[in-house]
Amino acid sequence: MKTINVTVWNEFRHERREQEAKEAYPNGIHEVIKSFLDADEALCVRTATLDEPECGLPDDVLNSTDVLVWWGHMAHGEVPDELIRKIVKRVNRGGMGFIALHSMHCSKLFGALLGTKGDLSWGRNQREIIWNIMPSHPIAKGVPDHFALDCEELYCEPFYIPQPDELVFGAWYEDGYIFRAGCCWYRGMGKVFYFQPGHETCRSFYNPYVRKIITNAVHWAMPAEPGFSVPGGYPEITEPATNTPAIYVDPD
Ligand code: ZN
């Protein structure tokens, strides 16, 4: 089975500073995500955190990552612009998959990948139901028609994102609000999946269906393998295409 190199990146600040987050994720959100991804033998998983040298993502790590999973919130602004530029290039040109979790929506990196600010409304932690609204999608494999999370932070529409290329999951909250909770986009050669659950004081990363969805998303987002080498930049075409069929063949 082919190995997919996954890097789980976490800001890792809340869990070191705030008791409630520390109780939910004593060794950090990244370690919990790594633990369930490690159960998939097709995946080779490593972690990276903001306070490591080069934010944990020196060029050799970034360039050998097939799928980058990202959790950030309070320190989005500390991710250097140069690193953001490199990540966007790895997605667009290198085909690296990107899994954006929870509060990633309001980061400069998310905006750089998708072209909008990702603004949304939010509120108190409460019961949420995740609805599987595209069961034919690979990320929905093995996921029931709906499942409940007893405690998640309210995120609600309107969510100012580009229309998802594929909307896989919707959310309903006990206060009556709704949200596009699982969204896919194609960017250049790469793929991006946003998934809403994962507030630092909630225990959603222990939920078996959240784990299945993130694991499925890693497989979906792995780099494509086209039957040609993808050119970088804007190559000039000087020769007609060869061996192409006629544009229109009259059936009579
Ligand atoms: Zn949150």
Residue 15, domain CATH: 3.40.50.880
SS3 245: coil
Residue 195: the pLDDT is 98
Q: Ligand 1 centroid vs 51 CA: distance in angstroms?
A: 20
Q: Which pLDDT band holds residue 228 (cuts at 50, 70, 90)?
A: confident
Q: Is residue 114 part of a domain?
A: yes
Phi, psi of 104 (to 5 degrees): -60, -25
The confidence band for 1, taking pLDDT boundaries of 50, 70 and 90, is low
Tell me how far the alpha carbon of residue 104 lies from the centroid of ligand 1, in angstroms. 9
> How far is ligand 1, taken at its centre, from the CA of residue 2, in Å?
34
Q: Cβ distance 20 to 202 under 8 Å? A: no
Whether pLDDT at 35 is above 70: yes
| Ligand 1 center from residue 6 Cα (angstroms) | 23
In a domain, 190, yes or no: yes
171 inside domain: no
CB 202, CB 151: distance < 8 Å? yes
CA of 183 relative to ligand 1 center, distance in Å: 18
Residue 99 lies in a domain: yes
Q: Cα of 102 to ligand 1 centre, how many Å?
A: 6
Do residues 2 and 42 touch, judged by C-beta distance below 8 A? Answer: yes
Torsion angle (degrees, nearest 10) of CA 67, 61, 59, 214: 20
165 alpha carbon – ligand 1 mean position (Å): 24
Torsion, Cα 77 79 85 88, to 10 degrees, reads: -90
Residue 246 vs residue 225, higher pLDDT: 225
Is 248 a residue whose pLDDT tops 70? no
188 alpha carbon to ligand 1 midpoint, in Å? Answer: 29
pLDDT of residue 235: 86
**DSSP strand pairing (67-71 vs 4-10):** parallel
Give me ligand 1 centre to Cα 225, in Å: 35
Domain count across the chain: 1
Residue 238 lies in a domain: no
Question: Would you state the structure tokens that stand for residue 207, as one six-digit string?
Answer: 């939920």
Instruction: Report yes or no on whether pTM surpasses 0.75.
Output: yes
Residues spanned by the domain of 99? 4-118+180-221
How far is residue 66's CA from residue 131's CA, in Å, rounded to a whole number? Answer: 28
- Residue 56, SS3 per DSSP: helix
Contact (Cβ atoms closer than 8 angstroms) between residue 203 and residue 177:
no
State the Cα–Cα distance between residues 219 and 67, nearest whole angstrom: 9
Q: Could you tell me the distance, in angstroms and rounded to a whole number, from the CA of residue 199 to the centre of ligand 1? A: 4
What average pLDDT does the segment 161-177 reach?
98
Residue 64, pLDDT > 70, answer yes
Nearest-angstrom CA–CA distance, 42 and 94:
20
More confident residue, 240 or 130: 130
Ligand 1 centroid – CA 103 distance (Å): 5
| Assigned domain for 247 exists | no
**Å from CA of 148 to ligand 1 middle:** 17
Domain assignment present for 155? no
Residue 145 lies in a domain: no
